[in-house]
Amino acid sequence: MQSEAGRLGVNMRLELIFGILFVASIAILVPASAETEVLMVNINPDNVDNRIDEEVNFDADCTVCNEEQLEYYYWNSSIDGVLTSGSDFLNLNFAMGSNLFTEGEHNVTLQVKGDGNWSEINDNSTTILTVIGDEGKDSELSVNFDITPPSLRLGETARFESCTTMQPEPQPCTDEINPDLSFAWHIQWDGLGNWSYLADTEAFESNQFQVGNHNVRLTITDNSNEDFSEDTKELLVLPPIPILDIEGPDQVSIKAGEILAVNSTCLDNYFQEISCSYEWEMWEDKAGPSLLFRLDTEDLVLDNLTEEVHNYDLMGRAIDDSGTYSSWVHLFITVNPPNESPVASISISPESLGGLTPEYYQYSTLTFSSHNSNDPDGQIVAYKWWHNNEVVSEESTWISEFSDLTIYQVKLEVRDDSGVWSSKVSANFKIVENTPPTASFDISSEGLSYNFNSTSSDIEGTVTNFEWSVNDVVISSNKNTTWLANTSGTYEITLMVWDDGGLSSNTTQTIEVVLSASEQKNFVVSFSSKNIEPGDSFTMDFSKTTGDVDHYTVVVNNPNGSRDSYKITIPTANGYNYTLMFPVKGVYTLDITVIWADGIAQDNMADFYGPTVNVGGDGTETTDETALEEVEDSGLPSISFFISLLVTGLIAISRRQR
């Protein structure tokens, strides 16, 4: 008996040892922080008749199915909606009567939430329940609704769906084709006390909640018979996740030896500042991440970052008064070599007159520029110009005039983007007196062409600009110029010159121009009758025109809107006459222009005629070159006389006709 008892004891100890080893191996193989996942679901039996009251068992297992990790779960049927939900892992497995299911093939899915994450819907979390029997449940009016998600943070939005609005498949609450239903949603805060109104639609969204575990009730009423049915689900609202906001960009660069200040704020889900505590971790990213140090202050001042490490990853998160952690926020820091000081440089424009000390004219406007200044490892962001031991400008350039005939000194210093100022640099220059230039010129001529040649000079410098005028009309800005006379008369030729110091002077000479009758430009053309019959000719006589003519242009504007152009060189085979024939009845307007050999047009409309030719008309010309005949009546002008004057005046304004 003792040997038998001893043998049994040994066997029990071996079984205990093997059991411990098995549990230990499972613990080793299963990661401590496995992701939230449903491992299996089972329905027994999975084929039922809803006309028979039979118990249906729902069993499952998941990676967070324990008291510490499971935050929420719900079982869902593709036909009947949510079967059960809650946060107590002891109620995860449950049983229902078969008579409570609707006939059909149910896709039954389990979703769980742990460590703040929901499990995915996959083959492990889904199975089939087949129900035969009656098409409906015991009740003719069923309450099918979902709350998505059933657990959320304060400030997040939940969607409430029922009946035909449910996703992914509608779940009608009655068999009627077009039911007349009304909906009433209410919530019981923390599952206690009175019910508060939420909505009266089949589906809606809301984010107006308070922290707690609440009951949501949906009452559906069939308005055709006043029947109603209701059901209740749980809604878990958790405290909001705080937000850690770090001022500035998430990537910064500093130089070795510089101080980096990190300012942060803790915000709620409405982006309002709240009270929080903080956790910071500084990681080195050189040859693999390694933790350097931890801090717990709101704002940081870092003065020990080195170029050797070069890259840092500062991680921070906030913890609100409820103990809820924000997400980690990263600030990536690059440490570059130590700062190099900027170098200031002064440039003066315009160019100096020369000299060992650059010379500029009295009252000249001088521009002092810093554009040649540089910073080897950054940018120049500030400037200071000094004159007479005073700061006269903080811009990149300084503009000023100087009146005293003496030597001046200007200094410049610049600051880089690291806050370091350069050494001051100086520039000396001398202000010298300037006198106006002397304006003079020579005149020569050949025929009607006059040459004006400048002989101007400047004692201290050079003459830089010229302006020629004839009778106060500017004709050229060149040093020398040519002018062609086309009219007899007295002309004042004026030359104004400027020196390189901006001073000016002028001089004027007078010439007399006498042109012969043949040289004087005078455009005259006469016409044959401007009232002709179709097929007749219209003749233009250019014989009285004087001056050197290159050619004439004639543009005929036809009654149909088309235009014909002619270039006429005189004399022609008909001498100084040119003839046009008009075969078609209508009113034709002509534009006749003279083009002079020198290419210079006369003022106003002296080079233009615009006659109107009436072909096959009533014989009344648009304008009449003869005087109007007086009408012998009471002595008062007739109405037609005034109309004639008005028409004649308007046409004379718009066209020159002879």
Q: 12, exposed or middle or buried, with CB in 10 Å at 0-12, 13-18, 19+?
A: exposed
Rounded to an integer, the average pLDDT of 460-476 is: 93
Burial 211-236 (b: 16+ CB within 10 A, else e): eeebbbbbbbbbeeeeeebebebbbb
Beta strands 425-432 and 441-446, pairing class: unpaired
Q: What CA–CA distance (Å, rounded) separates 61 from 110? A: 10
Residue with tokens 């350069």: 422
Summarize the chain as % helix, strand, coil (round to 5): 10, 50, 45
Q: CA-CA distances (angstroms) from residue 254 to 342, 414, 568? A: 16, 20, 82
Measured CA to CA, the distance from residue 643 to residue 627 in angstroms comes to 15
Decide: helix, strand or coil at residue 518. coil
What are 542-569's pLDDT values in tens digits? 988 888 889 999 999 999 999 999 999 9
Domains recognised in the chain with CATH numbers: 38-238 (2.60.40.10), 243-336 (2.60.40.10), 347-432 (2.60.40.10), 441-513 (2.60.40.10), 526-654 (2.60.40.10)
- How far, in Å, CA of 77 to CA of 41, rounded? 13
Backbone CA torsion sign across 13, 15, 18, 22: negative
Residue-wise pLDDT for 330-361, tens only, equals: 999 999 888 889 999 999 999 998 889 999 99
Residue type, 316: G
537 CB-near residues (< 8 Å, 6+ apart): 528, 579, 580, 581
Residue 339: its pLDDT value, please?
Answer: 86
**What's the token pair of residue 310?**
């070069």
Q: Are 75 and 108 in contact (CB under 8 A)?
A: yes
Do 236 and 209 form a contact (C-beta atoms < 8 A)? no
| Residue 231: predicted pLDDT | 94
Helices (H), 53-205: none
Asked if pLDDT for residue 639 goes beyond 50, the answer is no
Contact between residue 144 and residue 202 where contact means Cβ atoms under 8 Å apart: no
Q: According to the model, what pLDDT value does residue 460 have?
A: 80
pLDDT at residue number 531: 94
Task: Give 204's contacts (C-beta < 8 A, 6+ positions apart).
Answer: 159, 160, 185, 198
pLDDT of residue 633: 34
The pLDDT, as a whole number, for residue 642 is 38
Question: Got the DSSP string for 387-441?
Answer: ETTEEEE-SSEEEEE--SSSEEEEEEEEEETTSPBPPPEEEEEEEE---PPBP-E
639 φ, ψ (degrees, to nearest 5): -60, -40
Q: Is the backbone of residue 388 left (phi > 0), alpha (psi -120 to 50) or beta? A: left
Neighbours of 593 (CB within 10 A): 16
What are the angstrom distances between the C-alpha of 178 and each of 137, 140, 372? 19, 15, 83
Question: Hey, how many other C-beta atoms are within 10 angstroms of the C-beta on 257?
Answer: 14
Query: CA dist 25 to 28, 37, 248, 614, Å?
Result: 5, 20, 49, 120
Tens-digit pLDDT profile for residues 312-332: 999 999 999 888 999 999 999
CA angle 421, 423, 425 (to 5 degrees): 125
For residue 654, the model assigns a pLDDT of 45
pLDDT of amino acid 15:
54
DSSP 316: E
| Mean pLDDT value of segment 473-499 | 92
pLDDT at 625: 32
Over residues 133-148, mean pLDDT: 77
How do residues 228-267 score in pLDDT, each as one tens digit?
A: 899 999 999 998 899 999 999 999 988 888 889 999 999 9
Residue 46 has pLDDT above 90, yes or no: yes
Burial of residue 564 (number of CB atoms within 10 Å: 0-12, 13-18, 19+): exposed
Whether the predicted pLDDT of 640 surpasses 60? no
- Contacts of the segment 447-450: beta carbons below 8 A, 24+ positions apart: 448/484, 448/485, 448/486, 448/513, 448/515, 448/519, 448/598, 449/482, 449/483, 449/484, 449/485, 450/482, 450/483, 450/484, 450/485, 450/511
39-49 average pLDDT score: 94
Provide the 8-state DSSP code for 634.
Answer: S
385 has a pLDDT exceeding 90:
yes
Kindly tell me if the per-residue pLDDT of 626 is higher than 60: no
- What pLDDT, on the 0 to 100 scale, is given for residue 459? 85
Phi, psi of 378, rounded to the nearest 5 degrees: -175, -145
Amino acid at position 207, single letter: N
Provide the pLDDT confidence category of residue 598 given band limits of 50, 70 and 90. confident
CA 466/CA 506 separation, integer angstroms: 10
CA distances from 188 to 29, 145, 161, 221, 428 (A): 44, 17, 18, 20, 86
d(CA 167, CA 164): 9
How many CA atoms lie less than 13 Å away from 69 in the CB half-sphere? Answer: 18
Contact 536, 580 (CB under 8 A): no
- SS3 for 595? strand
Q: Which two tokens stand for residue 449?
A: 């062409």
Instruction: Name 528's Cβ contacts closer than 8 Å, sequence gap at least 6.
Output: 537, 538, 539
**Total residue count of the chain as it appears in this document:** 658
> Is the predicted pLDDT of residue 407 greater than 70, yes or no?
yes
Q: What percent of the chain has pLDDT over 70?
A: 87
Task: Please say if the pLDDT value at position 11 is more than 60.
Answer: no
Determine the Cα–Cα distance for residues 267 and 329; give it in Å rounded to an integer.
Answer: 13
- Which conformational region is residue 78 in: left (phi greater than 0), alpha (psi within -120 to 50 degrees), or beta? alpha
- Pick 354 or 138 by higher pLDDT: 354
Give the mean pLDDT of 207-227.
Answer: 92
Helix (H, G, I), strand (E, B) or coil at 643: helix
The values of phi and psi at residue 165, to 5°, are: -95, 0
If pLDDT is split at 50, 70 and 90, which confidence band does 171 have? very high
Q: Average pLDDT of the chain?
A: 85
pTM higher than 0.85 for the full model? no
What are 204's two structure tokens? 């809606």
pLDDT of res. 548 = 82
